[in-house]
A and B are shown apart, each in its own frame.
Chain A
Amino acid sequence: MKIRLWCASFAITAVAATAACGNGDSGSSESGGGGGGGDAKTLTYWASNQGATLDVDKQVLGKELAKFTQQTGVKVKLEVIGWPDLQNRILAATSSGQGPDVLNIGNTWAASLQSTGAFMPFDKAALDAIGGQSKFVDASFKTSGMEGKDPTSVPLYGLVYGLYYNKKMFADAGLQPPTTWEELQAAAKKLTDAGKGTYGMAMEGGSYTESIHFAFIFGQQHGADPFTKDGKPQFTTPGMVAGVKQYVDLMSDGVVNKSSVQYKNGPEAPGDFAKGKAAMLMSQNNADNTLQADGMKSSDYGVVAIPTKSGNKDTASFVAGINMSVFKDTKNKDGALKLVKFMTSPEEQAILDKPFTALPVVKGGTVNFTDNPAEAKTFADILATKSVPLPLVPAEAAYETNVGNAVNGLLAKAATGQKPSEADIKSALQEAQDKMASAG
């Protein structure tokens, strides 16, 4: 009898634990807060990880925030949050109301997070308080929220994709940096020697965010938009399928190390490029940090725009970057706006862009993260003339997840020797679209 009682009580406890585990979203959302809005004199600021490590960010920002405190008398409690945790922390803060006053967000989340209603809209008065909309680079400001609504974020650091190439490997093979996708494919093939462990292209093949970025960029090159004008997903159009195929074919064609489908943390693909295991790398400009930490000099590599197939649209990147938002519940709106103004001031931008290898998001700024003027000009040109924002619709975050994971699945298929056909790609994209439709 006692055994049965013991078993029963154990079972109830264990099953209850199960439920709590299954519903972890509610449990952890309540623990996610931190600043709780701070008080009138202290702001809580969640910064994203931009430098080589969290500690580097703390040091860099700590010094600048001390200046801010000196100028305004407002203290700032800083927390630097790694990318794998940032979105969860923001969601937890949003649902619990226990968030920071000011925070960084990935600019592609801007519209999705705007739709939660947790962030303060930057109306005209708020924009004027931080120096006006006109101070920002137009391309960057377009990422700040949905069209026709007051933005809920403003640009902080600018990033775009470029094609990095290893100058020595290209010179040894008698190659010029590619100007068309066909040239890139030919160069990648020529530079691949699987026996020696060198490949034409490095790839972060397990990262769903990279996969969605390239699905979008190459889809744009084929003239395809992932959403209709009224925000409905259309992932299976011929252009979308062709865009995904263009990316996945790099793996199918064997110009990428198959093992890179296991790469998902960020520094692995740049690491392969820096170690001479890959001759090309498609990455955002903050790859410079990893490349130089891995022993490359800025003169060892060149950067050109990611080329397009002959006759296609010349889109080389989306407008990537980091934006800054203010939580609506902040108890110190004035202080929060002062901090945003400070961080987006030309002086601070010039200081912060260097360690964080970022492009300036305010007009008149110069690219200063590299001592290679050609690289600086290439990235500035890509941002100004060859970049479009990711879709500014509430479903953007779900699009990133569903399509990004579908592309990852296709890359894994390609790596394990089953070259995905157009029909396979269309079916994977259809499944992603159906999931979004069922989820409502």
Chain B
Amino acid sequence: MSVDTVETPAAGSTAAAPAPSRPRRRGRRVTPYLLVLPAVVLELLVHIVPMLVGIWMSFVRLTQFFIANWSQAPSAGLDNYKVALDFSGPLGKSLLHSFGVTLAYTVLVVGVAWLFGMSGALVLHRSFRGRGFLRTLFLVPYAMPIYAGIMTWSFIFQRDNGLMNHLVKSLGLGDGESFWLVGNNAFASMAIVAIWRAWPFAFLMLLAGLQNVPDEVYDAASVDGAGIWKQVRYITLPYLRPVNVVLVLMLFLWTFNDFNTPFVLFGPTPPRSADLMSIHIYGNSFVSWNFGFGAAMSVLLLLFLLVVTGLYLFLTSRRSRRA
């Protein structure tokens, strides 16, 4: 991204500037903190405090008998975690299954959405007639209200009158009587909807990133005889690396935590093949009224994401330092 290019002149100008007076320097020191203060306060209120409450909940037996008076809930010690991580027990087994489904869903959605976004950005980066129209069209799924978009898909996936079965039958790919919202096909339906929603974001980010690749580099490469694939591999992708580091992380976290897609498509209890972690936790908390256990699963999910994110940032930053 452009961060590097900004950093150098800024650092240079600081070094060249005359030493500021003491009060001015103090003002400079305080200003950034004042600027981030509202964000920090809101972050604490909206995310950190509920998160801490959630961690506390995971250590107590917060069932229907205590939800009216949380403080009276007896301590559960590590019991909620033991149940969640006992993969031979029914609840642990279903959590493990949900984790597997979520992982497969995330890999598929992030991979395909990135590929679509990259392809779209590469095509629409060059100027041609109708480019503006196509750019707008591709952004429609991203601009559309989430629920409205997913509900439209749920109509498309209906067995009797849905467009999907109609299409399958018209193309001679099947008898047009498949279930898309029930059984194993539910996973594919959910992934299709998520890719449809996620890829315009990847497209937008990558398109913006492409603006920073100087045309001269491509010109020089083509003079040297590099074809389109070589240009993509040796120029475009390295230039887009900073964008991709952030983009893939964002898509990963959003998709892994996706709640809206299964909830709107299937309701609070999705088919087994589409039992993503977020909705699995919701089901255990709100449908089965076992909030302590739901919180324990949330904490496990948080730890997993923290570890993955930490590893990802560590590996990507090490590679960029080496580069």
Task: Output the least CB separation between B111 and chain A (Å).
Answer: 19
Q: Say which one of B18-26, B194-202, B205-213, B243-251 lies at the interface with A.
A: B243-251
Query: What residues make up the interface of B, taking CB atoms closer than 8 Å to A?
Result: 1, 3-4, 7, 43, 46-48, 50-51, 53-54, 57, 61, 63-65, 67-70, 83, 89-91, 94, 158-160, 179, 181-183, 242, 245-246, 249-250, 253, 256-257, 259, 267, 269, 271-272, 277-278, 281-291, 293-295, 297-299, 301-302, 305-306, 309-310, 313, 316-317, 320
Show 9 A/B contacts (Cβ-Cβ < 8 Å), sorted by A.
A3-B4, A23-B53, A25-B294, A95-B68, A258-B159, A409-B271, A413-B183, A416-B179, A435-B90
Q: In the complex the two chains form, what is the Cα distance from A413 to B51 in whole Å?
A: 39
Give the interface centre of A2, A97, A416, A439 by most chain B CB atoms within 10 Å: A439
**Docked-complex contact B64 and A112, CB < 8 angstroms:** yes
For residue B301, which residue of chain A has the nearest CB?
A22
For residue B161, which residue of chain A has the nearest CB?
A259
**Docked-complex contact A26 and B7, CB < 8 angstroms:** no
**Docked-complex contact B67 and A116, CB < 8 angstroms:** yes
Known contacts A7-B313, A95-B70; 18 further A-B pairs (Cβ under 8 A): A2-B7, A6-B246, A7-B317, A11-B309, A14-B253, A16-B47, A18-B253, A19-B47, A19-B50, A22-B54, A22-B277, A22-B301, A26-B54, A27-B50, A115-B65, A434-B90, A435-B91, A435-B288
B242 contact set on A, CB distance < 8 A: 3
Task: Output the least CB separation between A26 and chain B (Å).
Answer: 5
**Docked-complex contact A91 and B288, CB < 8 angstroms:** no
Which of A17, A88, A258, A328 meets B286, CB within 8 Å?
A88
A27 contact set on B, CB distance < 8 A: 50
**Docked-complex contact B65 and A23, CB < 8 angstroms:** no
**Docked-complex contact A117 and B295, CB < 8 angstroms:** no
Query: What residues make up the interface of A, taking CB atoms closer than 8 Å to B?
Result: 1-4, 6-8, 10-11, 13-27, 84, 87-88, 91, 94-95, 97, 112-113, 115-118, 206, 208, 258-259, 261-262, 264, 328, 394, 397-398, 401-402, 405, 408-409, 412-413, 415-416, 431, 434-435, 438-440
Q: In the complex the two chains form, what is the Cα distance from A14 to B69 in whole Å?
A: 31
A416 contact set on B, CB distance < 8 A: 179, 182-183
Q: In the complex the two chains form, what is the Cα distance from A440 to B90 in whole Å?
A: 13
Q: In the complex the two chains form, what is the Cα distance from A439 to B284 in whole Å?
A: 9
Majority SS at the chain B contact face? helix
Q: In the complex the two chains form, what is the Cα distance from A408 to B289 in whole Å?
A: 20
Task: Output the least CB separation between A402 and chain B (Å).
Answer: 7
B83 contact set on A, CB distance < 8 A: 438-439
For residue B7, which residue of chain A has the nearest CB?
A2
For residue B291, which residue of chain A has the nearest CB?
A25
For residue B48, which residue of chain A has the nearest CB?
A16
Majority SS at the chain A contact face? helix
For residue B158, which residue of chain A has the nearest CB?
A262
Q: In the complex the two chains form, what is the Cα distance from A69 to B295 in whole Å?
A: 43
**Docked-complex contact B289 and A415, CB < 8 angstroms:** no
Task: Output the least CB separation between A136 and chain B (Å).
Answer: 26
Give the interface centre of B7, B83, B306 by most chain A CB atoms within 10 Å: B306
**Docked-complex contact B295 and A440, CB < 8 angstroms:** no
For residue B58, which residue of chain A has the nearest CB?
A23
**Docked-complex contact A22 and B48, CB < 8 angstroms:** no
For residue B67, which residue of chain A has the nearest CB?
A95
Knowing A2-B3, A115-B65, A116-B67 are in contact, say whether A261-B179 is a contact too (CB < 8 A): yes
Task: Output the least CB separation between A267 and chain B (Å).
Answer: 15
Q: In the complex the two chains form, what is the Cα distance from A88 to B291 in whole Å?
A: 13
